[in-house]
Chains A and B, each alone.
Chain A
Amino acid sequence: MSPMFEGPCQQSTGFLFSHDCGRPAAASCMKCGKRVCDMHLTALGAELVCSTCAEDDDEEDGDSDSGDPDSAPDEDDPSYYYKDYGYYGPGSAWGRGKDPNDFTEADGESLRHEEDASFEEDLGGS
Protein backbone atom coordinates (compact mmCIF):
# COMPACT_ATOMS: atom_id res chain seq x y z
CA MET A 1 0.00 0.00 0.00
CA SER A 2 1.28 3.43 -0.85
CA PRO A 3 2.14 5.61 2.16
CA MET A 4 -0.18 8.16 0.63
CA PHE A 5 -3.13 5.99 1.53
CA GLU A 6 -2.05 5.01 4.97
CA GLY A 7 -4.64 5.55 7.64
CA PRO A 8 -8.32 4.87 7.99
CA CYS A 9 -11.03 5.55 5.45
CA GLN A 10 -12.40 9.06 5.94
CA GLN A 11 -15.76 8.46 4.33
CA SER A 12 -18.65 9.33 6.61
CA THR A 13 -21.10 6.51 7.00
CA GLY A 14 -23.91 5.45 9.28
CA PHE A 15 -27.68 5.25 9.03
CA LEU A 16 -28.51 6.89 12.34
CA PHE A 17 -25.24 8.30 13.58
CA SER A 18 -22.65 9.69 11.21
CA HIS A 19 -19.14 8.44 11.82
CA ASP A 20 -15.95 7.81 9.87
CA CYS A 21 -15.87 4.39 8.22
CA GLY A 22 -12.51 3.58 9.76
CA ARG A 23 -11.53 0.67 7.48
CA PRO A 24 -8.01 0.77 6.00
CA ALA A 25 -7.85 3.19 3.10
CA ALA A 26 -7.05 1.78 -0.34
CA ALA A 27 -6.90 4.95 -2.38
CA SER A 28 -7.54 8.66 -2.40
CA CYS A 29 -10.60 10.16 -4.03
CA MET A 30 -9.50 11.69 -7.32
CA LYS A 31 -11.92 14.62 -6.85
CA CYS A 32 -11.59 15.63 -3.18
CA GLY A 33 -8.44 13.78 -2.11
CA LYS A 34 -10.10 12.04 0.84
CA ARG A 35 -8.68 8.65 1.87
CA VAL A 36 -11.21 5.93 1.13
CA CYS A 37 -11.41 2.14 1.44
CA ASP A 38 -12.45 -0.27 -1.32
CA MET A 39 -16.02 -0.26 -0.16
CA HIS A 40 -16.37 3.49 -0.51
CA LEU A 41 -14.50 3.78 -3.79
CA THR A 42 -16.67 4.26 -6.89
CA ALA A 43 -15.68 4.39 -10.56
CA LEU A 44 -16.97 7.56 -12.14
CA GLY A 45 -15.94 7.33 -15.79
CA ALA A 46 -12.19 7.07 -15.71
CA GLU A 47 -11.93 8.44 -12.19
CA LEU A 48 -12.01 6.63 -8.88
CA VAL A 49 -13.92 8.80 -6.41
CA CYS A 50 -15.41 8.56 -2.95
CA SER A 51 -19.11 7.89 -2.35
CA THR A 52 -19.82 11.53 -1.52
CA CYS A 53 -18.30 12.82 -4.76
CA ALA A 54 -20.13 10.09 -6.69
CA GLU A 55 -23.41 11.21 -5.12
CA ASP A 56 -22.69 14.86 -5.90
CA ASP A 57 -22.03 13.90 -9.49
CA ASP A 58 -25.32 12.00 -9.64
CA GLU A 59 -27.22 15.03 -8.34
CA GLU A 60 -25.60 17.27 -10.95
CA ASP A 61 -26.57 14.77 -13.63
CA GLY A 62 -30.10 14.72 -12.29
CA ASP A 63 -30.35 18.49 -12.61
CA SER A 64 -29.02 18.47 -16.15
CA ASP A 65 -31.53 15.80 -17.14
CA SER A 66 -34.48 17.92 -16.08
CA GLY A 67 -35.21 19.02 -19.62
CA ASP A 68 -35.56 15.48 -20.90
CA PRO A 69 -39.26 14.58 -20.99
CA ASP A 70 -38.44 10.87 -20.66
CA SER A 71 -36.69 11.42 -17.37
CA ALA A 72 -39.19 13.90 -15.86
CA PRO A 73 -40.10 12.88 -12.32
CA ASP A 74 -43.40 11.17 -11.71
CA GLU A 75 -45.91 13.24 -9.70
CA ASP A 76 -46.75 10.11 -7.73
CA ASP A 77 -43.16 9.88 -6.56
CA PRO A 78 -42.89 11.58 -3.12
CA SER A 79 -39.55 13.03 -4.15
CA TYR A 80 -41.43 15.07 -6.77
CA TYR A 81 -42.82 17.17 -3.93
CA TYR A 82 -40.09 16.93 -1.35
CA LYS A 83 -36.52 17.74 -2.24
CA ASP A 84 -34.05 15.09 -1.04
CA TYR A 85 -36.92 12.81 -0.04
CA GLY A 86 -35.54 9.80 1.82
CA TYR A 87 -32.51 7.95 0.63
CA TYR A 88 -34.19 6.09 -2.17
CA GLY A 89 -35.33 8.78 -4.57
CA PRO A 90 -34.11 9.08 -8.17
CA GLY A 91 -30.38 9.57 -8.37
CA SER A 92 -29.62 8.04 -4.98
CA ALA A 93 -26.67 5.78 -4.49
CA TRP A 94 -29.20 3.06 -3.67
CA GLY A 95 -29.93 2.79 -7.39
CA ARG A 96 -26.37 1.59 -7.94
CA GLY A 97 -26.73 -1.13 -5.35
CA LYS A 98 -24.36 0.52 -2.90
CA ASP A 99 -25.82 2.87 -0.34
CA PRO A 100 -23.23 4.80 1.64
CA ASN A 101 -25.93 5.59 4.21
CA ASP A 102 -26.77 1.98 4.79
CA PHE A 103 -27.02 0.55 8.29
CA THR A 104 -23.73 -1.03 9.26
CA GLU A 105 -22.42 -3.17 12.08
CA ALA A 106 -20.84 -0.05 13.48
CA ASP A 107 -24.30 1.48 13.82
CA GLY A 108 -25.50 -1.57 15.67
CA GLU A 109 -22.63 -1.19 18.07
CA SER A 110 -23.42 2.48 18.58
CA LEU A 111 -27.00 1.54 19.44
CA ARG A 112 -25.76 -0.93 21.99
CA HIS A 113 -23.86 1.90 23.62
CA GLU A 114 -26.92 4.09 23.96
CA GLU A 115 -27.81 4.96 27.53
CA ASP A 116 -30.39 2.20 27.77
CA ALA A 117 -27.94 -0.51 26.69
CA SER A 118 -27.02 -1.47 30.22
CA PHE A 119 -30.55 -2.06 31.51
CA GLU A 120 -30.47 -5.32 33.47
CA GLU A 121 -26.72 -5.54 32.88
CA ASP A 122 -25.35 -2.77 35.06
CA LEU A 123 -26.56 -4.03 38.42
CA GLY A 124 -25.20 -0.98 40.21
CA GLY A 125 -26.69 1.52 37.80
CA SER A 126 -30.01 2.14 39.52
Chain B
Amino acid sequence: MAAFRWLIYALGGGMGHLTRASALARAAARQGHSVTLLINSPFAPGVPLEAVLGPGVEVLRLDAALDKRAVREVVECCLQDVRPDVFIVDTFPRGLGGELVSLLPGLRARKVLVHRDLNPAYLERFDVARAVDAFDLLLVPGEDAPLAGHARAVRTSPWLLLEAGELLPRAEARARLGVPAGDARPVVAVMGCGTHSEVEEAGTLAARLHSLLGEAARVRWLVPPGQATALPVAAEPLHVPVWPAVAVLPGVDVLVGAGGYNTVNEARATGTPFVALARPRLYDRQALRLRAEELAGSVEALLEKAVLLARRPPARGPRRYASGTGDAVALIERLRLNA
Protein backbone atom coordinates (compact mmCIF):
# COMPACT_ATOMS: atom_id res chain seq x y z
CA MET B 1 0.00 0.00 0.00
CA ALA B 2 1.35 3.41 -0.98
CA ALA B 3 1.79 5.87 1.84
CA PHE B 4 -0.22 9.06 1.58
CA ARG B 5 -0.08 12.42 3.24
CA TRP B 6 -3.10 12.84 5.47
CA LEU B 7 -4.20 16.12 7.00
CA ILE B 8 -6.84 15.69 9.68
CA TYR B 9 -8.73 18.84 10.59
CA ALA B 10 -10.12 18.41 14.13
CA LEU B 11 -10.72 21.93 15.33
CA GLY B 12 -13.19 22.30 18.17
CA GLY B 13 -13.34 22.64 21.92
CA GLY B 14 -13.30 19.95 24.57
CA MET B 15 -11.67 16.56 24.18
CA GLY B 16 -14.12 15.09 21.69
CA HIS B 17 -12.78 16.15 18.30
CA LEU B 18 -9.24 15.67 19.48
CA THR B 19 -9.77 12.13 20.76
CA ARG B 20 -11.88 10.87 17.84
CA ALA B 21 -9.44 12.31 15.30
CA SER B 22 -6.51 10.89 17.24
CA ALA B 23 -8.04 7.43 16.89
CA LEU B 24 -8.08 7.80 13.10
CA ALA B 25 -4.63 9.40 13.00
CA ARG B 26 -3.10 6.60 15.02
CA ALA B 27 -4.66 3.89 12.87
CA ALA B 28 -3.53 5.65 9.67
CA ALA B 29 0.02 6.10 10.93
CA ARG B 30 0.17 2.42 11.80
CA GLN B 31 -0.57 1.71 8.15
CA GLY B 32 2.45 3.78 7.19
CA HIS B 33 0.75 7.00 6.24
CA SER B 34 2.18 10.37 7.12
CA VAL B 35 -0.41 12.15 9.23
CA THR B 36 -0.73 15.76 10.33
CA LEU B 37 -3.32 16.42 13.01
CA LEU B 38 -4.62 19.97 13.33
CA ILE B 39 -6.33 20.77 16.64
CA ASN B 40 -7.19 23.80 18.76
CA SER B 41 -8.73 22.34 21.90
CA PRO B 42 -7.86 24.34 25.01
CA PHE B 43 -6.91 21.01 26.60
CA ALA B 44 -4.45 20.11 23.84
CA PRO B 45 -1.30 21.63 25.37
CA GLY B 46 -1.44 19.24 28.33
CA VAL B 47 -2.42 16.08 26.49
CA PRO B 48 0.47 13.68 25.66
CA LEU B 49 -0.61 13.26 22.06
CA GLU B 50 2.80 12.52 20.62
CA ALA B 51 3.45 9.75 23.13
CA VAL B 52 0.17 8.02 22.32
CA LEU B 53 0.07 8.64 18.58
CA GLY B 54 3.66 7.78 17.83
CA PRO B 55 6.19 9.25 15.40
CA GLY B 56 3.99 8.90 12.31
CA VAL B 57 1.70 11.70 13.46
CA GLU B 58 2.66 15.35 13.57
CA VAL B 59 0.42 17.34 15.87
CA LEU B 60 -0.23 21.01 15.19
CA ARG B 61 -1.78 22.70 18.20
CA LEU B 62 -3.41 26.01 17.38
CA ASP B 63 -4.05 28.52 20.11
CA ALA B 64 -7.65 28.07 21.24
CA ALA B 65 -7.99 31.84 21.44
CA LEU B 66 -7.46 32.43 17.71
CA ASP B 67 -10.36 34.22 16.07
CA LYS B 68 -12.05 33.24 12.81
CA ARG B 69 -9.74 35.25 10.59
CA ALA B 70 -6.61 33.88 12.22
CA VAL B 71 -7.95 30.33 12.04
CA ARG B 72 -8.63 30.76 8.34
CA GLU B 73 -5.10 31.99 7.72
CA VAL B 74 -3.56 29.12 9.65
CA VAL B 75 -5.71 26.51 7.92
CA GLU B 76 -4.87 27.95 4.51
CA CYS B 77 -1.13 27.93 5.31
CA CYS B 78 -1.40 24.41 6.63
CA LEU B 79 -3.08 23.15 3.45
CA GLN B 80 -0.34 24.79 1.36
CA ASP B 81 2.47 23.42 3.51
CA VAL B 82 1.23 19.87 3.96
CA ARG B 83 -0.21 19.49 0.44
CA PRO B 84 -2.24 16.51 1.62
CA ASP B 85 -3.33 13.62 -0.55
CA VAL B 86 -6.37 13.30 1.67
CA PHE B 87 -7.95 16.00 3.74
CA ILE B 88 -10.15 14.67 6.53
CA VAL B 89 -12.48 17.07 8.30
CA ASP B 90 -14.01 16.16 11.63
CA THR B 91 -17.63 17.23 12.12
CA PHE B 92 -17.72 20.64 10.38
CA PRO B 93 -17.95 20.44 6.57
CA ARG B 94 -17.78 24.23 6.36
CA GLY B 95 -14.98 24.41 8.91
CA LEU B 96 -15.34 25.49 12.51
CA GLY B 97 -15.60 29.13 11.47
CA GLY B 98 -16.93 28.57 7.95
CA GLU B 99 -13.46 28.99 6.47
CA LEU B 100 -13.42 25.77 4.47
CA VAL B 101 -16.21 26.86 2.14
CA SER B 102 -13.82 28.97 0.11
CA LEU B 103 -10.78 26.71 0.59
CA LEU B 104 -12.15 23.33 -0.44
CA PRO B 105 -12.90 24.05 -4.13
CA GLY B 106 -9.24 24.81 -4.86
CA LEU B 107 -7.91 21.82 -2.95
CA ARG B 108 -6.75 18.88 -5.07
CA ALA B 109 -6.79 16.38 -2.22
CA ARG B 110 -9.52 13.79 -1.76
CA LYS B 111 -11.87 15.11 0.86
CA VAL B 112 -13.41 13.09 3.66
CA LEU B 113 -15.92 14.24 6.23
CA VAL B 114 -16.29 12.57 9.63
CA HIS B 115 -20.00 12.96 10.21
CA ARG B 116 -21.61 12.65 13.62
CA ASP B 117 -24.72 14.19 15.15
CA LEU B 118 -25.30 17.86 14.35
CA ASN B 119 -27.85 20.39 15.51
CA PRO B 120 -30.62 20.64 12.87
CA ALA B 121 -30.74 24.43 13.32
CA TYR B 122 -27.08 24.63 12.27
CA LEU B 123 -27.72 22.36 9.29
CA GLU B 124 -30.59 24.48 8.08
CA ARG B 125 -29.16 27.90 8.75
CA PHE B 126 -25.80 27.20 7.09
CA ASP B 127 -27.03 24.87 4.33
CA VAL B 128 -24.72 22.17 5.59
CA ALA B 129 -26.20 19.59 3.19
CA ARG B 130 -24.80 21.61 0.31
CA ALA B 131 -21.40 21.94 1.98
CA VAL B 132 -21.26 18.17 2.36
CA ASP B 133 -21.39 17.76 -1.43
CA ALA B 134 -17.80 19.02 -1.56
CA PHE B 135 -16.65 15.76 0.05
CA ASP B 136 -15.77 12.52 -1.71
CA LEU B 137 -16.63 10.36 1.27
CA LEU B 138 -18.61 10.73 4.48
CA LEU B 139 -17.64 8.45 7.32
CA VAL B 140 -20.33 7.97 9.98
CA PRO B 141 -18.60 6.41 12.97
CA GLY B 142 -20.91 4.62 15.34
CA GLU B 143 -23.92 6.87 15.73
CA ASP B 144 -26.72 8.23 13.64
CA ALA B 145 -26.18 11.54 11.91
CA PRO B 146 -28.49 13.78 9.92
CA LEU B 147 -26.82 13.21 6.55
CA ALA B 148 -25.99 9.54 7.08
CA GLY B 149 -28.25 8.71 4.15
CA HIS B 150 -26.03 10.63 1.72
CA ALA B 151 -25.01 8.61 -1.34
CA ARG B 152 -21.34 8.82 -0.38
CA ALA B 153 -21.84 8.06 3.32
CA VAL B 154 -20.50 4.88 4.90
CA ARG B 155 -21.10 3.82 8.48
CA THR B 156 -18.42 2.26 10.64
CA SER B 157 -18.23 1.09 14.23
CA PRO B 158 -17.40 3.83 16.75
CA TRP B 159 -13.80 4.97 16.66
CA LEU B 160 -11.77 4.06 19.71
CA LEU B 161 -8.26 5.29 20.29
CA LEU B 162 -6.80 2.08 21.73
CA GLU B 163 -6.94 -1.48 20.50
CA ALA B 164 -8.61 -3.97 22.84
CA GLY B 165 -5.25 -5.43 23.82
CA GLU B 166 -3.93 -2.01 24.83
CA LEU B 167 -6.44 -1.48 27.64
CA LEU B 168 -4.94 -1.96 31.06
CA PRO B 169 -5.85 -5.22 32.76
CA ARG B 170 -8.24 -4.64 35.67
CA ALA B 171 -5.64 -4.93 38.42
CA GLU B 172 -3.26 -2.55 36.63
CA ALA B 173 -6.06 -0.12 35.89
CA ARG B 174 -7.07 -0.04 39.57
CA ALA B 175 -3.45 0.51 40.56
CA ARG B 176 -3.24 3.34 38.01
CA LEU B 177 -6.29 4.82 39.72
CA GLY B 178 -4.53 4.71 43.08
CA VAL B 179 -6.41 1.76 44.55
CA PRO B 180 -4.12 -0.44 46.64
CA ALA B 181 -3.85 -4.11 45.83
CA GLY B 182 -6.18 -6.04 48.13
CA ASP B 183 -8.74 -3.24 48.28
CA ALA B 184 -11.81 -4.85 46.71
CA ARG B 185 -14.14 -1.89 46.97
CA PRO B 186 -15.77 -0.72 43.75
CA VAL B 187 -14.25 2.22 41.91
CA VAL B 188 -16.48 5.11 40.89
CA ALA B 189 -14.82 7.36 38.32
CA VAL B 190 -16.19 10.83 37.64
CA MET B 191 -15.19 12.55 34.44
CA GLY B 192 -15.97 15.85 32.77
CA CYS B 193 -13.94 17.15 29.88
CA GLY B 194 -16.08 19.38 27.68
CA THR B 195 -14.83 22.62 29.20
CA HIS B 196 -12.51 23.60 32.03
CA SER B 197 -15.54 24.44 34.18
CA GLU B 198 -17.02 21.00 33.51
CA VAL B 199 -13.78 19.44 34.73
CA GLU B 200 -14.16 21.39 37.96
CA GLU B 201 -17.81 20.42 38.22
CA ALA B 202 -16.79 16.79 37.91
CA GLY B 203 -14.49 17.39 40.86
CA THR B 204 -17.40 18.70 42.89
CA LEU B 205 -19.49 15.68 41.93
CA ALA B 206 -16.65 13.38 42.90
CA ALA B 207 -16.39 15.08 46.30
CA ARG B 208 -20.12 14.69 46.87
CA LEU B 209 -20.04 11.05 45.87
CA HIS B 210 -17.08 10.48 48.17
CA SER B 211 -19.09 12.02 51.00
CA LEU B 212 -22.20 9.96 50.18
CA LEU B 213 -20.41 6.66 49.74
CA GLY B 214 -17.84 6.93 52.49
CA GLU B 215 -15.86 3.74 52.76
CA ALA B 216 -18.23 1.82 50.52
CA ALA B 217 -16.36 2.76 47.36
CA ARG B 218 -13.30 4.45 45.99
CA VAL B 219 -14.19 7.61 44.12
CA ARG B 220 -11.81 8.94 41.51
CA TRP B 221 -11.91 12.19 39.58
CA LEU B 222 -10.50 11.69 36.10
CA VAL B 223 -9.05 14.87 34.62
CA PRO B 224 -7.35 15.63 31.30
CA PRO B 225 -3.58 15.81 31.80
CA GLY B 226 -2.33 19.34 32.32
CA GLN B 227 -5.58 20.52 33.82
CA ALA B 228 -5.04 22.52 36.99
CA THR B 229 -7.32 21.24 39.74
CA ALA B 230 -8.46 22.82 42.95
CA LEU B 231 -7.74 19.82 45.14
CA PRO B 232 -4.29 18.88 46.45
CA VAL B 233 -2.91 15.73 44.88
CA ALA B 234 -3.26 13.56 47.98
CA ALA B 235 -6.83 14.53 48.90
CA GLU B 236 -9.73 12.11 48.59
CA PRO B 237 -11.28 11.70 46.19
CA LEU B 238 -8.03 11.34 44.30
CA HIS B 239 -7.83 13.18 41.05
CA VAL B 240 -6.14 11.19 38.34
CA PRO B 241 -4.80 12.83 35.19
CA VAL B 242 -5.42 10.34 32.42
CA TRP B 243 -5.75 10.29 28.63
CA PRO B 244 -7.11 8.35 26.96
CA ALA B 245 -9.53 7.47 29.75
CA VAL B 246 -10.55 4.27 28.00
CA ALA B 247 -7.22 2.77 29.08
CA VAL B 248 -8.35 2.57 32.73
CA LEU B 249 -12.03 1.72 32.25
CA PRO B 250 -11.45 -2.01 32.91
CA GLY B 251 -10.69 -0.91 36.47
CA VAL B 252 -13.77 1.28 36.83
CA ASP B 253 -17.00 -0.16 38.23
CA VAL B 254 -19.19 2.89 37.73
CA LEU B 255 -18.44 5.71 35.30
CA VAL B 256 -20.10 9.07 35.93
CA GLY B 257 -19.80 11.59 33.13
CA ALA B 258 -21.55 13.34 30.29
CA GLY B 259 -22.92 12.33 26.91
CA GLY B 260 -19.92 13.15 24.73
CA TYR B 261 -19.06 10.89 21.82
CA ASN B 262 -15.93 9.31 23.26
CA THR B 263 -17.14 8.83 26.83
CA VAL B 264 -20.33 7.12 25.69
CA ASN B 265 -18.69 4.85 23.17
CA GLU B 266 -15.79 3.96 25.44
CA ALA B 267 -18.16 3.06 28.31
CA ARG B 268 -20.28 0.88 26.05
CA ALA B 269 -17.34 -0.80 24.34
CA THR B 270 -15.82 -1.79 27.67
CA GLY B 271 -19.16 -2.71 29.26
CA THR B 272 -18.62 -0.19 32.06
CA PRO B 273 -21.79 0.69 34.03
CA PHE B 274 -22.36 4.32 33.10
CA VAL B 275 -24.56 7.21 34.16
CA ALA B 276 -24.39 10.68 32.65
CA LEU B 277 -25.78 14.16 32.37
CA ALA B 278 -26.65 15.47 28.93
CA ARG B 279 -24.57 18.62 28.78
CA PRO B 280 -25.73 21.44 26.50
CA ARG B 281 -23.65 21.72 23.36
CA LEU B 282 -23.80 24.07 20.44
CA TYR B 283 -23.57 21.44 17.72
CA ASP B 284 -24.48 17.99 19.03
CA ARG B 285 -27.22 16.70 21.26
CA GLN B 286 -25.99 14.60 24.11
CA ALA B 287 -29.48 13.64 25.26
CA LEU B 288 -30.03 11.84 21.95
CA ARG B 289 -26.77 9.96 22.28
CA LEU B 290 -27.52 8.63 25.77
CA ARG B 291 -29.79 5.67 26.39
CA ALA B 292 -32.60 6.00 28.94
CA GLU B 293 -30.78 3.86 31.48
CA GLU B 294 -27.64 5.98 31.12
CA LEU B 295 -29.27 9.40 31.28
CA ALA B 296 -29.77 11.33 34.54
CA GLY B 297 -32.08 14.31 34.33
CA SER B 298 -30.40 16.34 37.07
CA VAL B 299 -27.32 16.42 39.25
CA GLU B 300 -29.29 14.94 42.14
CA ALA B 301 -30.60 12.13 39.94
CA LEU B 302 -27.07 11.53 38.71
CA LEU B 303 -25.75 11.21 42.24
CA GLU B 304 -28.61 8.95 43.25
CA LYS B 305 -28.05 6.63 40.31
CA ALA B 306 -24.31 6.56 40.85
CA VAL B 307 -24.70 5.72 44.55
CA LEU B 308 -27.13 2.91 43.76
CA LEU B 309 -24.76 1.49 41.16
CA ALA B 310 -21.78 1.77 43.49
CA ARG B 311 -23.56 0.10 46.42
CA ARG B 312 -24.79 -2.77 44.26
CA PRO B 313 -22.43 -2.82 41.29
CA PRO B 314 -24.06 -4.61 38.38
CA ALA B 315 -22.14 -7.15 36.38
CA ARG B 316 -20.15 -5.46 33.68
CA GLY B 317 -21.96 -5.37 30.38
CA PRO B 318 -20.83 -7.48 27.46
CA ARG B 319 -17.53 -6.20 26.15
CA ARG B 320 -17.93 -5.57 22.44
CA TYR B 321 -14.72 -3.76 21.88
CA ALA B 322 -14.51 -3.14 18.17
CA SER B 323 -13.14 0.08 16.79
CA GLY B 324 -14.13 1.29 13.33
CA THR B 325 -10.84 3.06 12.69
CA GLY B 326 -9.38 0.16 10.70
CA ASP B 327 -12.37 0.15 8.35
CA ALA B 328 -12.17 3.93 8.07
CA VAL B 329 -8.50 3.82 7.05
CA ALA B 330 -9.25 1.13 4.47
CA LEU B 331 -12.11 3.17 3.01
CA ILE B 332 -9.94 6.26 2.73
CA GLU B 333 -7.10 4.30 1.14
CA ARG B 334 -9.50 2.88 -1.43
CA LEU B 335 -10.81 6.34 -2.15
CA ARG B 336 -7.32 7.61 -2.76
CA LEU B 337 -6.39 4.70 -5.01
CA ASN B 338 -9.51 5.32 -7.11
CA ALA B 339 -8.60 8.95 -7.59
Residues of A within 8 A of B (CB): 115-116, 118-126
Contact = CB atoms under 8 A, between A and B. Distances in A.
A119 B67 CA distance: 13
Contact of B96 (A115, A116, A123): A123
A126 B14 contact: yes
Point out which of A116, A120, A121 has the most chain B C-beta atoms below 10 A from its C-beta.
A120
B119 interface: yes
Contacts of B284: 126
Q: Which 3 A-B pairs have the closest CB atoms?
A: A125-B282, A126-B12, A124-B13
A126 B280 CA distance: 10
B67 A116 contact: no
Interface string B76-98: 00000000000000011010111
A120 B42 contact: no
Contacts of B97: 120-121, 123
A6 B325 CA distance: 67
Interface residues of B, number: 29
Interface stretch (B120-128, B145-153, B184-192, B330-338): B120-128
A121 B13 contact: no
6 contacts: A120-B68, A123-B66, A123-B96, A124-B42, A125-B13, A126-B12
A105 to B, nearest CB: 20
B71 A118 contact: no
Interface SS of chain A: helix, strand, loop or mixed?
Answer: loop
B281 interface: yes
Nearest to A119: B122
A123 B17 CA distance: 13
A116 B282 CA distance: 7
B89 to A, nearest CB: 13
B265 interface: no
A122 B14 CA distance: 13
A125 B40 CA distance: 12
A115 B282 contact: yes
B68 A116 contact: no
A116 B126 CA distance: 11
B64 interface: yes
B135 interface: no
Contacts of A116: 119, 121-122, 125, 282
A118 B97 CA distance: 10
Interface in B2-31: 11-14, 16-17
Contacts of B243: none
Nearest to B11: A123
Contacts of B96: 120, 123, 126
Nearest to B121: A116
A93 B12 CA distance: 49
Contacts of A123: 11, 13, 40, 64, 66-68, 71, 96-97
B94 A120 contact: yes
Interface in B110-143: 119, 121-122, 125-126
Given A115-B282, A126-B12, 11 more contacts: A116-B119, A116-B125, A119-B119, A119-B122, A119-B282, A120-B96, A120-B98, A121-B68, A125-B283, A126-B92, A126-B282
A53 to B, nearest CB: 38
Interface in B45-84: 64, 66-68, 71
A115 to B, nearest CB: 7
A118 B67 CA distance: 13
